Structure 1
Amino acid sequence: MKLFHSIESFHTHKKTIITLGAFDGVHIGHQKIIEKLIHNANSSDSESLILTFFPHPRMVLQEQSEMQLLNTIEERAELLEKTGLDNLIIHPFDKVFSRLTAEEFVKNILVDRLKIKKIIIGHDHRFGKNRTADIDDLIVFGKKYAFEVEQISAQEIQAVSVSSTKIRTALEEGNIHLANQYLGYSYFLTGTVQQGKQLGRTIGFPTANLKIKEDYKLIPKSGVYVVQSTLRNNTVFGIMNIGTNPTVNGKELSIEIHYLDFEANLYSQKIEVSLLHYIRSEQKFESVTLLKDQLEKDKLTAIAFINKL
């Protein structure tokens, strides 16, 4: 997959089959649309292309929006690359871009820049300044500028919408199994390991303290999870706590992973942590000794779960 960070930097010698959208989560509903996109491109000697925007338009146009996304923009690109897509454009969205009229967007960008042959789009898609144009306008433009418009069915759009809503709700409720079912993969967090308070080390549970720099990334419900990472080219399992460490009067949210059967200095390394199973909610214990006893139980629970995989 070729990745472009602006519309202006995109180049190809072939015509393109295009779809637009946030594709946040790149879940099973999105994957069906992308399969259709790629099939169309392969059968017409064209290249598949997704045009997406960052920041998300709602972050720019609704400045008070504290929008939480399932993927960071880097994670989204990583997931889209796995689909077999030919081209991904992540265009910087700003208020100047939002003021393009519908026809300016179609003529100057889709036709002149992106060499559009066909666009696959939802029946409810709106575009152009103030989002005034709809699918009917796009069909008219398609006839004027000689490109085809294929509508994604209402049922498919509904499936995408339902999936996104259910994934967010499931993550917020700690139902990681349901979230992963709709995603088609295990929900994951990406961040850099930084030095923490090192309490875990003193009770036999050293942890990697994960710092996620993107404040828009959706963090699942606080609690203890079974997780998996690839470290030094090996699959490593662990238990992860999301929370404030109330037993030691912690205040700030932290994400800490205790890896099983793995010892190495991970400080400053970027790691990816996949969430497999929710064990329990975060608790405040009367002593650190009782916390350690519970962590031993959590470890046994995690091992029993891992052995069934």
Structure 2
Amino acid sequence: MIKKTLADNSGTGFSVVTIGTFDGVHVGHRKILERLIESARANNLKSTLLTFFPHPRMVLQQDADIKLINTLDEKIAILEKSGLEQLIIYPFTREFSRLTAIEFVRDIIVDKLRARKVIIGYDHRFGRNRTATIKDLREYGETYEFDVEEIGVEEVDAVSVSSTKIRRALEEGDMETANQYLGYDFMLTGEVVKGKGLGKQMRYPTANLHIAETYKLIPAKGVYVVKSEIDDRVVYGMMNIGFNPTVNGDRQSIEIHFFDFDRDIYGKKIRIDMLKRLRDEVRFDSVESLTLQLHKDKENALEYLRERR
């Protein structure tokens, strides 16, 4: 897959284009991408996704505090495995949002992306104030000589429903549902930083994960079974998201205890795949009680992993 900006896309071959934020790149999005790629191959065109960053709501509704399923880097990594030929990441700004529909189509879809076909949802709206519809797009297609393929209401509704279900499932800590709709394990990506060392004192040393992207959606507080790949080795563990109430924690942390793993990974950027939520975060009467619960958590996590294999 070729990642480009519009500035370095001029002069390349003709393309078939779809447009959207594609947050999560979930199973509904995958259907659209499959159709895009099939159409491109059948017509000797480049399959092209035009996406935006920041998310439009981050720019136009700055008080919305929107949380995204993927960071930009995570989304790119997922799309790289899809078979897509071109990914154009367009910087979304207030100035861009004021483009009229005809300016967007003429200057970007036609002049920059050299579209011969656009695949789009039946309810897609675009241009200033999102006033233009697929009917307008078809008319522009006749003027600028590109075809428009409409994605049916059933498929578009499936995309919308699955996005809603993914967000709700993550907020509730229901990883099985979220992962089913994503088509892959939900991930957190960040840098391992030093913590207070309390886990090590309880014989459960943890890697503290710092996620730089504040817009990243963090699932419900609690203890999870997780997986990671570190230095080409797959490792499993359990992770706590929360405030460590037993030891009077004052800020949310993400801490992972890896099983049978003792390498120094401070400063390393790692990805954590979240598999299952074991329990809520609980305040215990003592550190000893917490340690006993950690023993149980590890047993439950290992049992889950044995069943999963």
Distance in 2 of aligned mates of 1:191 and 1:11: 35
Task: Output the TM-score relative to the length of structure 2.
Answer: 0.98
Partner AA of 1:3 in structure 2: K
- Cα displacement string for residues 49-107 of structure 1 (whole angstroms, at most 9, x for unaligned residues): 00001011111111212001000011011111110100001111101111111111111
The residue correspondences of 1:174-185 to structure 2 (distance < 5 A) are 174-185=173-184
Distance in 1 of aligned mates of 2:181 and 2:49: 21
* Aligned twin of 2:30: 31
The question of 1:59 aligning with 2:78 is answered: no
The question of 1:47 aligning with 2:41 is answered: no
The question of 1:22 aligning with 2:21 is answered: yes
* Aligned twin of 2:120: 121
* Aligned twin of 1:295: 294
Task: Output the TM-score relative to the length of structure 1.
Answer: 0.98
When structure 1 is superposed on structure 2, of 63-72 and 10-19 the one drifting more is 10-19
Report the 3-state secondary structure (helix = DSSP H, G, I; strand = E; otherwise coil) of the residue aligned with 2:31: helix
Structure 1: segments with no counterpart, 5+ residues: none
Distance in 2 of aligned mates of 1:289 and 1:266: 27
* Aligned twin of 1:86: 85
* Aligned twin of 1:209: 208
Displacement of 1:12 in angstroms is 5.4
Distance in 2 of aligned mates of 1:32 and 1:216: 26
- The answer on whether the counterparts of 2:15 and 2:48 sit within 8 Å (CA) in structure 1 is yes
Displacement of 1:11 in angstroms is 4.2
Partner AA of 1:301 in structure 2: N
The residue correspondences of 1:93-132 to structure 2 (distance < 5 A) are 93-132=92-131
Distance in 1 of aligned mates of 2:168 and 2:66: 14
Partner AA of 1:168 in structure 2: R
Displacement of 1:242 in angstroms is 0.2
Displacement of 1:130 in angstroms is 1.1
Distance in 1 of aligned mates of 2:136 and 2:205: 59
* Aligned twin of 1:2: 2
Report the 3-state secondary structure (helix = DSSP H, G, I; strand = E; otherwise coil) of the residue aligned with 2:8: coil
* Aligned twin of 2:221: 222
Displacement of 1:174 in angstroms is 1.1
The question of 1:307 aligning with 2:306 is answered: yes
* Aligned twin of 2:264: 265
Distance in 1 of aligned mates of 2:105 and 2:12: 19
* Aligned twin of 1:147: 146
- Cα displacement string for residues 243-279 of structure 1 (whole angstroms, at most 9, x for unaligned residues): 0000001120000000001111111100000001110
Partner AA of 1:79 in structure 2: I
Q: CA RMSD in A?
A: 0.8
Distance in 2 of aligned mates of 1:11 and 1:228: 42
Report the 3-state secondary structure (helix = DSSP H, G, I; strand = E; otherwise coil) of the residue aligned with 1:192: strand
Displacement of 1:280 in angstroms is 0.3
Distance in 1 of aligned mates of 2:299 and 2:45: 53
Distance in 1 of aligned mates of 2:9 and 2:275: 38
Percent identical residues: 53
Partner AA of 1:44 in structure 2: N
Partner AA of 2:285 in structure 1: E
- Cα displacement string for residues 100-146 of structure 1 (whole angstroms, at most 9, x for unaligned residues): 11111111111111110100001111111111111000000000000
Partner AA of 2:222 in structure 1: G
Report the 3-state secondary structure (helix = DSSP H, G, I; strand = E; otherwise coil) of the residue aligned with 1:268: coil
Distance in 2 of aligned mates of 1:157 and 1:98: 23
Report the 3-state secondary structure (helix = DSSP H, G, I; strand = E; otherwise coil) of the residue aligned with 1:8: helix
Distance in 1 of aligned mates of 2:272 and 2:248: 26
* Aligned twin of 2:194: 195
Distance in 1 of aligned mates of 2:283 and 2:63: 34
Displacement of 1:13 in angstroms is 3.2
- Cα displacement string for residues 4-47 of structure 1 (whole angstroms, at most 9, x for unaligned residues): 1x322224532100000010000000001000000000111110
Displacement of 1:282 in angstroms is 0.3
- The answer on whether the counterparts of 2:10 and 2:111 sit within 8 Å (CA) in structure 1 is no
Report the 3-state secondary structure (helix = DSSP H, G, I; strand = E; otherwise coil) of the residue aligned with 1:182: helix
* Aligned twin of 1:274: 273
Structure 2: segments with no counterpart, 5+ residues: none
